[in-house]
Amino acid sequence: MTSQVSSPAEQADGADDTSDSVVGEQHVLRGAPGVPGSKEVRRLDRVIIRFAGDSGDGMQLTGDRFTSETASFGNDLSTLPNFPAEIRAPAGTLPGVSSFQLHFADHDILTPGDAPNVLVAMNPAALKANIGDVPRGADIIVNTDEFTKRPMAKVGYTTSPLEDGSLEAYQLHPVPLTTLTIEALKEFGLSRKEAERSKNMFALGLLSWMYHRPTESTEQFLRTKFAKKPNIAEANVAAFRAGWNFGETTEDFAVSYEVAPATKAFPTGTYRNISGNLALSYGLIAASHQADLPLYLGSYPITPASDILHELSRHKNFGVRTFQAEDEIAAIGAALGAAFGGSLAVTTTSGPGVALKSETIGLAVSLELPLLVVAIQRGGPSTGLPTKTEQADLLQAMYGRNGEAPVPIVAPRTPADCFDAAIEAARIAVTYRTPVFLLSDGYLANGSEPWRIPEPDELPDLGVQFTTAPNHQLPDGTDVFWPYKRDPHTLARPWAVPGTPGLEHRIGGIEKQDGTGNISYDPANHDFMVRTRQAKIDGIEVPDLVVDDPDGARTLVLGWGSTYGPITAAVRRLRTNGHPIAQAHLRHINPFPRNLGEVLKRYDKVVVPEMNLGQLATLLRAKYLIDAHSYNQVNGMPFKAEQLATALKEAIDA
Amino acid sequence: MPEVNELLSLVPKAEAKQSMKDFKSDQEVRWCPGCGDYAVLAAVQGFMPDLGLAKENIVFVSGIGCSSRFPYYMNTYGMHSIHGRAPAIATGLATSRRDLSVWVVTGDGDALSIGGNHLIHALRRNVNLKILLFNNRIYGLTKGQYSPTSEVGKITKSTPMGSLDSPFNPVSLAIGAEASFVARTVDSDRKHLTSVLRQAADHPGTALVEIYQNCNIFNDGAFEALKDKDRALEAVIRLEHGEPIRFGADNSKGVVRDPATGDLVVVPVTADNEHQILVHDAHATSPTTAFALSRLADPDTLHHTPIGVLRSVKRPVYDTLMSDQLDAAVEQNGKGDLSQLLAGNDTWTVVG
């Protein structure tokens, strides 16, 4: 797949809830000073744009650039890239459509938006694949050059939707994007095919004009990206400017829009836009820094986790070792070997890879070594939907091993939160000497949002003490090292790394005698060790669950992971309309926060929305004997706020 | 690339003289009485002091199987891992800790069946590992099923009418997988075993040593052809680098290249052909002759089995290259600065 960047987000926030008209308040400003030209300018509080085209049209790049412009302008934003698993599906077909949705606002928002206000459709397939999501009245910009007989027939249009009246309910803007781009670039001496490629930059220029986006960063980006091909760089810049000028001069675009920076939404600080996988990668590097341990990644390429491997491979000057293994099993094996040697060890994967790694995770449980298993969930089972999101690997993470093999689970809630979640997972791993699951998903991985950049001194100290001296005295007075003599507080065993004189010891997957770590088949010892390993995980200190309940509600909505944005947006809508509802979101799923049982019992009804068939609900029901109500969606896409709000309203009323 | 001694120099030396006793752990050895593993354990414990490495910097990693209990008996650091994965785990350890001498102990089932993928990839990468492959041509720990090195037609519990699949020749496999050091030895020949292990220890990169090892319970006498004094004369070809490849009573047989096919053949040595006898070159850049030597052995009778170091060539070592890249990255970009990394190039500021 092409670039990614961007991601999740949410949708409307409180203000507009049920109405179809997605756009919020509008103020008409005429001839505002400093605004290009004398066209009408309207002010919006938020906008949702979707760029859609063929896989080869560069829609992800276009979306990324618009996102970057928007981030630097200071809007809050949330993105949702959506692309096929095929690198280049046959051109012009429905399976080949790639899209990028961006929601930006002058206030804080939580999702990439339910339905676009603006659809940019680069070809008939893009129009056909996306029109169902576009509400009536929205703007649709189409590349008319592609609406010829063959491309239309390919996707089943027998008449042109641009002419047969089927788009009457929309604000249709027919633009010959290809022709205009080629025309704009005729001085560059490019072939037609080469020139055509810049049509996405023309579209970006047009949209940048429409929404008053700053343009310098995109021009700079193009010049850097094509530094070795200055002619191509300048051609793209020219196409971008031509698009901007087209909006400015043509009569078809009579209005442009302003979305003010979301100054009140953000605490003071320095911000950048960041995707989930990037934030997660940075979190790992930061954890390594804070623990003063070298970072070692063993990984095998798999969508949607590969970008973490790519990113970490770029930072060797931080002492980061990345090892692309021959398979998923070797990837985690190498990581475990590095953990034995004293590295902060990580393996990154997705559901099918987790399945392959299961035996080694069990070994790590038995060896009691720190190891981060980063799982970026995608649609399953089997190969499933590699580029789509899902939360259906929770029970695999929880129980997917032979024997009693408890593993802590940490789940980030937004793209930027992947940074903090990675540090938290590392804290648990090194403190308790255990493998830890960091359970993200495709929506968080590829989505993006503004992130307040932390100062290094805000980060927790993860300092680790290796054991360097004997820790036990035998009855005869001899000092010895016992690899399974535990810290009485954490139940963690000592981490004595090879190279430490006098502490030579052997560990393995066979059951060990408590304390000495020698092989033991003694029944009572096994029972004790099984219970002790469980007690260690159960005893991990995690923060209490915080409940947001301003109105004293009777219904609690409880989520985990990437559903945070849509759930929060839905909750805002309900409260704005006078429906009290309490909200809580789990970061720690194993162990659960200590106060979870008490929180659940406070409410008459608990609703658990998940992108699976009710896996967290199953855990809650089993542990707390409560009648948790599941609300599920397993279609590879994040929840829409409106849909969740409706479902929650029904739960409140039932 | 670094010289042999330069690579080994990363592993700290023992401060005091060590003895075999220093390398024996306090654990009771639990192999079957008469198992060939005892001999290998004794040989390894016996030659370790000669290496002069600090024993806390030596690590034995194993998989699953009888031989994989080996680390428990060595008073070094050790990990008894899971079936087939030892080369992968050892790769992570060796590539992250170049101050360690990392040894893998594995068997024919562990290395060639369930762990075959990890073995070939470790060999092609040339990670600094010493792999001891105990080949007894049978599954011992699971009580006697045929293995990927068992001869065709092997009658076992899982193949009562005889096994159907052709065996691997581990030495051929290793050479095919780009191994930089491949040797074969026999459990009962302590002197030869020790000499081969010694050369493996000195090799920078992955060294694979196939050790023919007798399982006296489930496959007793599998290598008798190589051990019985009289039969061994005709069966064993002892390879010495720089020496003509001759064997048999009075060195009456030799290996020559067939000019018609280029392949190697065994011939009686005569005054006429003596000058044509192949001189063993373990350091030959091309693996072709080493591979041809590995094919001389008859998989059924073991006749004409070469033992010794078949191939030992210098090739860049993965761990070294990985470290070099880290150093180069620091040289090019400076030591990583966390604040700078987190901030990136495209930020905006919100003031209160």
The CATH 3.40.50.970 portion of chain A extends over: 273-458
User: What's the gap in Å between the CA of A13 and the closest CA on chain B?
Assistant: 21
**Neighbouring C-beta atoms of residue A614, cutoff 10 Å:** 18
Q: Test B92 with A341 for CB contact under 8 angstroms.
A: yes
Give which of B41, B85, B120, B351 to mutate to test A binding, by max A Cβ within 10 Å: B85
| A73, A360, A504, best to mutate vs chain B, most B CBs in 10 Å | A504
The per-residue pLDDT for range A381-428, each reduced to its tens digit, is: 999 999 999 999 999 999 999 999 999 999 999 999 999 999 999 999
CB contact burial A373-382 (16+ within 10 A = b; e otherwise): bbbbbbbbee
Q: What is the pLDDT of residue A456?
A: 85
Rounded Cα distance between B126 and B209, Å, is 14
Pick one of 3.40.50.920, 3.30.10.20, 3.40.718.10, 3.40.50.300 as the CATH number of A555-653.
3.40.50.920
Neighbouring residues of A163: CB distance < 8 A, sequence distance ≥ 6: none
CATH (residue range B4-222+317-333): 3.40.50.970
Architecture of A273-458 per CATH? 3-Layer(aba) Sandwich (3.40)
CB burial readout A62-94, b (16+ within 10 A) else e:
bbbbbbbbbbbbbbbbbbbbbbbbeeebeebbb
pLDDT-based confidence at residue A33 (cuts at 50, 70, 90):
very low
Question: Are A510 and B80 a contacting pair at CB < 8 A?
Answer: yes
- Beta carbons of A210 and A257 less than 8 angstroms apart: yes
DSSP assigned state of B18 = -
**Considering chain A, what percentage of its residues have pLDDT values greater than 90?**
90
Bridge partners of A100? A51, A81
pLDDT over 50 (residue A22): no
Rounded Cα distance, B346 and A221, in Å: 11
Chain B contacts of A453, Cβ < 8 Å?
A: 342-343, 347
Res B28: pLDDT: 93
According to DSSP, the β-strands at A629-632 and A605-610 are parallel
Interval A224-255: pLDDT, tens: 999 999 999 999 999 999 999 999 999 889 89
Q: Where are the alpha helices (DSSP H) in A47-155?
A: 59-73, 124-130, 149-154
The predicted pLDDT at position B14 comes to: 93
The phi, psi pair for A361, rounded to 5°, reads -60, -40
Per-residue pLDDT of chain B (352 residues; tens, 9 = 90+): 444 456 667 899 999 999 999 999 999 999 999 999 999 999 999 999 999 999 999 999 999 999 999 999 999 999 999 999 999 999 999 999 999 999 999 999 999 999 999 999 999 999 999 999 999 999 999 999 999 999 999 999 999 999 999 999 999 999 999 999 999 999 999 999 999 999 999 999 999 999 999 999 999 999 999 999 989 998 999 999 999 999 999 999 999 999 999 999 999 999 999 999 999 999 999 999 999 999 999 988 999 999 999 999 999 999 999 999 999 999 999 999 999 999 998 888 888 6
CA–CA separation, A437 and A532 (whole Å): 20
Integer angstrom CA distances of residue B73 from A5, A472, B294: 52, 21, 32
- In chain B, where the domains are located: 4-222+317-333
Nearest to B338 among A289, A296, A359 (CB): A289
The ipTM of this complex is: 0.97
Asked if CATH classification 3.40.920 holds for the domain at A27-176+253-264, the reply, yes or no, is yes
A71 touches chain B (CB under 8 A): yes
- Three-state DSSP at A274 gives strand
pLDDT tens-digit readout, A321-350: 999 999 999 999 999 999 999 999 999 999
Give per-residue pLDDT as tens, A279-320: 999 999 999 999 999 999 999 999 999 999 999 999 999 999
A contact test, residue of B68, B178, B347, B351 with most A CBs within 10 A: B347
B89, A334: Cβ pair inside 8 Å?
A: yes
Which of B75, B80, B90 faces A337 most closely, judged by CB atoms?
A: B90
Residue A346 near chain B (CB below 8 Å) = no
With bands split at pLDDT 50, 70 and 90, how would you rate the model's confidence at A89? confident
List of residues 6+ apart from B129 with CB closer than 8 A = B87, B90, B91, B94, B102, B103, B104, B122, B206, B207
- 3-state SS of A288-339 is HHHHCCCEEEEECCCCCCHHHHHHHHCCHHHCCEEEECCCHHHHHHHHHHHH
Measured between beta carbons, the chain B residues lying within 8 angstroms of A289 are 338
Work out the mean pLDDT of chain B and round it to a whole number.
95
Residue B85 to chain A, least CA–CA distance (Å): 7
Within the 239-268 window of chain A, which residues sit less than 8 Å (CB to CB) from chain B? Answer: 263, 266-268
Q: Does A499 touch chain B (CB under 8 A)?
A: yes
- pLDDT attached to residue B6: 61
- The pLDDT value given to residue A85: 85
**H and E: helices and strands count for chain B:** 12, 12
CB < 8 Å to B330, chain A = 316-317
Domain with CATH 3.40.920 in chain A: 27-176+253-264
Interacting residues of A341 by C-beta distance below 8 A, sequence separation 6+ = A497, A498, B92, B93, B96, B97, B100
A543 CB within 8 Å of a chain B CB? no
State the count of interchain CB pairs (< 8 A) between A and B.
205
**A273 Cβ under 8 Å from any chain B Cβ:** yes
Mean pLDDT for all residues in chain A = 93
Question: Taking a C-beta distance cutoff of 8 angstroms, is the pair A375, A442 a contact?
Answer: no
> Could you identify the residue written with the tokens 């000499």?
B195
A413-472 residues touching B, CB cutoff 8 A: 453-456
